[in-house]
Structure 1
C-alpha cells in the first residue's frame, strides 16, 4: 500500500460501512496536515453539464453529466482535467500528477479550450479532517493505490473499482473478484 497523497486513489474496502462510499473510487486532490480532499470517480448523476454549467458543455468529456464528487459541498463544483501536453498548462490549471490536475471553473473557457484532452466536473467532494483519513486507512476502510490518468475519465464507471483492483500487484488484486453482496457467495 502507498501513502495517501494527491493524485492517489482510495478504493473503499468491504469494511467501510458509510453508504456514501460503498464500492467507491476516490481521486485524492489535496492531502496535508489539515486533512484531505478528493472526488468520487464512479458516481455519475443524471444532471447534464449543459443544465448547470453551459459554458463548459463543449469541453467536458463523455458522458456529459455531472458526477457526484462526494457528500460535502454539493452545491459547488470541481473540475478534474488531463492536459494534452504537460508543457502547455493554461491559466486556471493546477497540476496534481503529471498531466492530471484541477481546472478553476471561473476561468473563461476560451483560455482553456484546446489545452485539455479530458475534463470531468464533480458536484461536491469527499473531505477528511486532520488525521481522519489516516485513521480510516489504518482501520482497513480504504485501499490506497496509484492512479492512472485515464481513471478519472472513463465513460463507463460501473466496473472502475474492480478494474483498478485487478491491476494491483499481489494479493490485493484478488479482492477484485469478491461479490458486491457477500451473501450471494
Structure 2
C-alpha cells in the first residue's frame, strides 16, 4: 500500500469488538445510517453483534413514535437499519427493570417495556437514565469481523457517561479525536471526496 494512503488503515492496537465498546465509522463509510456513525455494542459473540448508533438523533420525542407511551421529554436516535419500526433502549436502571441485560458498569440494554412505561408515568425515571433508539445495528457471525478487515470500523473503548450524553452527528469528530493522533486527519476529509 502507498505510504500516503496508510492514514486510512485502522490500527486498533488489537482492540477487539466486545459488548461495551464502540465502533467509529471510517470517514467514507457509505450509507445513511452508518455514514460517520458511532455504534455502541450491547452484544457480541461468534454468532454476531448488536449495537445502537449513538449520534443520529431524530426530530421527535419518544411518545410521538408510540401513541400509548407516557409524556416523557426524551430524545430518540436512529439505532440502525434493522427493525426501524421498533423502539429499543439502553439505561441505568439495572434490576429495577426486569429482563434487562447488563452491558457494562451500570449500563443495561432492554427490559420489560410495560414496567418502563409504568415507572415513567409514576416519575421514577429521569431522561438522563435512558436513551431510546428506533431500530438497531446488527451483524451475523463473521460479518463485523469482515468489515473490520476492510478497515470500515475503528474499535475503541468508551466511558459509560459518554454513551448516555446528548450526542449529534458532529459527535463523530469528538470520538475520532479521542481515538488518537493517528486518526486526526480523518476530521479534515469531506464526506464525499468526489464533491471536493
Could you tell me how far apart the structure 1 residues matched to 2:89 and 2:51 are? 11
If the length of structure 2 is used for normalisation, what is the TM-score? 0.77
The correspondence for 1:144, drawn from 130, 136, 155, is 155
Corresponding residue for 2:107? 100
Quote the residue 2:97 is aligned against: 91
| Structure 2 unaligned blocks of 5 or more | 1-11
Larger Rg: 2
**Cα gap change, 1:13 to 1:51, in 2 (>3 Å):** same
Aligned residues: 177
Deviation of 1:111 after TM superposition, in Å, equals 5.0
- Structure 1 residue 15: deviation in Å? 4.5
1:98-147: CA deviation from partner (whole Å, max 9, x where unpaired):
01221325241345734884211111111111100000011111111112
Task: Look up the match of 2:17.
Answer: 4
- Write 1 or 2 for the structure with the bigger share of strand: 1
Q: What TM-score does the superposition give when structure 1 sets the normalisation length?
A: 0.81
Note closer, same or farther for the CA distance 1:100–1:47 as it changes in structure 2 (3 Å cut). same
How many angstroms apart in 1 are the aligned matches of 2:143 and 2:76? 27
Gaps of 5+ in 1: none
Mapping of 1:1-185 within 5 angstroms? Answer: 1=12, 2-53=15-66, 54-55=68-69, 57-58=71-72, 64-83=74-93, 89-92=95-98, 93-109=100-116, 110-111=118-119, 113-114=124-125, 117-182=128-193
Aligned counterparts of 2:96 and 2:19: Cα–Cα separation in 1: 20
Structure 2 SS opposite 1:44:
coil
Root-mean-square deviation over aligned CA pairs: 2.5
Residues 160, 184 of structure 1: alpha-carbon distance in 2 compared, 3 angstrom cutoff: same
- In terms of fraction of residues, the more helix-rich structure is 2
